[in-house]
Amino acid sequence: MESEIASATLKALRRVLRAAEGGTRRLAATTGLTPSQLLVLREIDGGEDVTPGVVAQRLQFSHATITAIVDRLVALDLVTRARSDRDKRRMLLEATSEGRRRLVEAPDMLQEIFSVRFSALPAWEQAMILAGTERLADILGVGDMDAAPLLDAGPIDRS
């Protein structure tokens, strides 16, 4: 027994997911990168002392997958690998200037939309959307990304 309002919300949520999805794709297309490559490149550029392990954890991919994707990014001269001095087991990943350029050239679509369309809305509507989206995120039960990068521990099992 599902209320009318709940199913309407789910429907809207699906639209949101679909739109976000499409955005990532179009974005990847414009950069010449695959979505996964783009995600990894962003993670690398977005943090300090980024290692393959950190990226894997953040994106919920296996280490082997990250290695393969970083291989490609290095081959494309978008990323460099260097051993850490402090702990020689670790590889430090950094975006090259070309890598950063690509990210700048193909900015986050969601962010774009928000800086344009969202800010065109009246304040009360912005507030309503913010409140609704935050509550929605709460309901779906994922903690704050900054605070808890690890809550979501469900790697895919393909056995």
Partner DNA sequence: ATTTATATTTCATATTACGAAATATAATTC
Partner DNA sequence: GAATTATATTTCGTAATATGAAATATAAAT
Interface residues with DNA (CB under 7 A)?
34-37, 51-54, 60-72, 81, 86-91, 155-159
Strands in the chain per DSSP E? 79-83, 91-95
**Under DSSP, is residue 120 helix (H, G, I), strand (E, B) or coil?**
helix
- Residue 65's binding partner out of DNA, a second copy, none, with CB under 5 to 8 Å set by partner kind: DNA
The single-letter code of the amino acid at 98 is: E
Nearer Cβ to DNA, position 9 or 60? 60
- Considering only 64, 68, 82, 128, the residue that binds a second copy (CB under 8 A) is 128
As measured in angstroms, the least distance from the Cβ of 47 to DNA is: 12
- Residue 107 tokens, joined: 């900015």
Residue 113 near a second copy by CB under 8 A: yes
Q: How many CB atoms lie within 10 A of CB 112?
A: 13
As measured in angstroms, the least distance from the Cβ of 144 to DNA is: 22
- Residue 87's binding partner out of a second copy, DNA, none, with CB under 5 to 8 Å set by partner kind: DNA
The single-letter code of the amino acid at 29 is: A
- Considering only 54, 60, 72, 88, the residue that binds a second copy (CB under 8 A) is 60
> Could you tell me which residues are beta bridge partners of residue 95?
79
Nearer Cβ to a second copy, position 21 or 77? 21
Residue 130 near a second copy by CB under 8 A: yes
Task: List C-alpha distances in Å: 69 to 23, 84, 150, 159.
Answer: 21, 20, 21, 22
Nearest residue to 144 via CA among 153, 134, 154: 134
Nearer Cβ to a second copy, position 82 or 148? 148
Nearest residue to 37 via CA among 65, 60, 57: 65
- Residue 104's binding partner out of a second copy, DNA, none, with CB under 5 to 8 Å set by partner kind: none
